[in-house]
Amino acid sequence: MNTVAVGSNVQNISLTDVTAPIISLINTILTAAIPLVAAAGSLYCVLLGVKYARAEEPQDREKAKQHLKSAIIGFVLIFVLIVALRIATPILTEWMNANSKAIQ
């Protein structure tokens, strides 16, 4: 327990009490973010694919192709980072709790 003085009150507050709501919020956001990123990425890639298919000029076709490649790389990167954060959150929480107990 850590002792915190607020005004004239002295309270014992554990680190878990402070971080639990924050971690819960992060997990809730990540749970919603995975399907949203997948849906937005799929829709955007389909629209870029249609733009690529409709392009008549070679430079327009190449430009659309490059945009499609960039979009796919971007959405894959975002998805991988979301999954990595989802995996790392419990590990970091456990590490934080173990180290906060060692300090006390």
Distance CA 47, CA 49 (A): 5
pTM for this structure? 0.67
- Distance, in Å, from the CA atom of 82 to the CA atom of 80, rounded to the nearest integer, reads 5
Does residue 6 carry a pLDDT above 60? no
Buried b / exposed e over 17-52, threshold 16 CB at 10 Å, is: eebeeeeeeeeeeeeeeeeeeeeebeebeeebeebb
Tell me what pLDDT residue 103 has: 64
| pLDDT score, position 96 | 84
Q: Report pLDDT digits (tens) over 30-43.
A: 888 889 988 999 99
